[in-house]
Homo-oligomer: A and B are copies of this chain.
Amino acid sequence: MDKVRLEAFSDGVFAIAITLLVLDLHVPHLESGESLAHALGQDWPSYVSYVASFLTIGTVWVNHHTIFRLLARCDRPLLVINIAFLMCVAAIPFPTALVSRFARTAEASTAAFVYGGTMVALGLLFNALWRYSLRGGLVSADADARGVSGITRSYLAGPVLWCAATLPAIWSADASLLLFAGLVGFWVLSSSFWGREAAP
């Protein structure tokens, strides 16, 4: 299994999962006398979820490449971890749909837990991917040592932060969903500014 093909397959799954999010945007059924503008307005959690999940998958895709660019080769166990990881990525439209549907109901906390739980699982598998690569000697010998340890630290933060943002859903789903949005916003902004250096 060569690295190029593994990346191309992963990219395909990322591109499809990110585009399938649009299927969670539903044409509203109007109640009698209701205007379309009102119905669309009521549906705002769908649009926020769409944006948040789109940016999340986009960010994860960028980080996935950051890892693979550092790998010199790949082996079967890495392949299996990568498939489990993609299984979480491809599942994201489902918790997104749950949050869209239940965000403003009494069941919002459960939806927030499923969403946050998926992200924690994703983060853990991402760390598994990276740590297996490090221990298995798959990382390219000429990879910058400081960059490598920086990645180890910053990727560890992912599941910890998602976990911290999910727990408040016990008391308030809204708090949790706001923290999710904050996390996504922070990653998008930080990756724009940190990553200022151009890649040829």
Interface positions of A (Cβ within 8 A of B) = 1-2, 5, 7-9, 11-23, 25, 27, 30, 35-37, 40, 50-51, 54-55, 58, 61-62, 65, 72-77, 79-80, 83, 86-87, 90-94, 97-98, 101-102, 107, 110-111, 114, 136, 138, 188, 191-200
Pick the residue among B14, B27, B101, B199 that contacts A75 (CB under 8 A).
B199
- 20 further contact pairs, Cβ within 8 A, besides A20-B22, A20-B23: A1-B62, A5-B65, A9-B14, A13-B18, A16-B19, A17-B19, A17-B22, A20-B20, A22-B91, A23-B23, A50-B87, A55-B87, A73-B198, A75-B196, A75-B199, A76-B191, A76-B192, A76-B195, A76-B196, A77-B193
